[in-house]
Amino acid sequence: MGLTSIQSIPAAAETAAGATATPAADWTRDERSFNRAVSAAVEQLNGIGFAGDNREITFSIDQSSKRVVVQVVDKSTNEVIMQWPPESVLQWAAENMKNG
């Protein structure tokens, strides 16, 4: 699944999940507003260490299903420790979008 990061860090070529970021110029006004709000929430949660030592929370958008994805990532290895919804649910949602 292709994930588009909306973390509050400078635009990078790759996200923690390994997907390229969608250029901000392609976002609608509502999407930019949503992304700013989510970025602020990510900063707050990571700032207080909500996910634990050496871990961070990321919010992304799965490009195939257009669903929000929340991950807990090990900062030293970039390993995804937990993800909601699971990959199988994202695949199911993407298939259902294709089939109408």
pLDDT digits over 57-99, tens only? 998 888 888 788 899 999 999 999 999 999 999 999 888 888 7
- The dihedral built from the CA positions of residue 79, 84, 89 and 91, taken in this order, carries a sign that is negative
Q: How many domains does the chain have?
A: 1
Distance CA 41, CA 4 (A): 17
Pairwise CA distance, residues 100 & 97, whole Å:
5
Count of CB atoms situated within 10 Å of the CB of 60: 24
Domain with 10 in it = 3-98
**Is this structure's pTM higher than 0.75?**
no
Give burial (CB, 10 Å; 0-12/13-18/19+) of 24: exposed
More confident: 4 or 76 = 76
3-state secondary structure of 89: helix
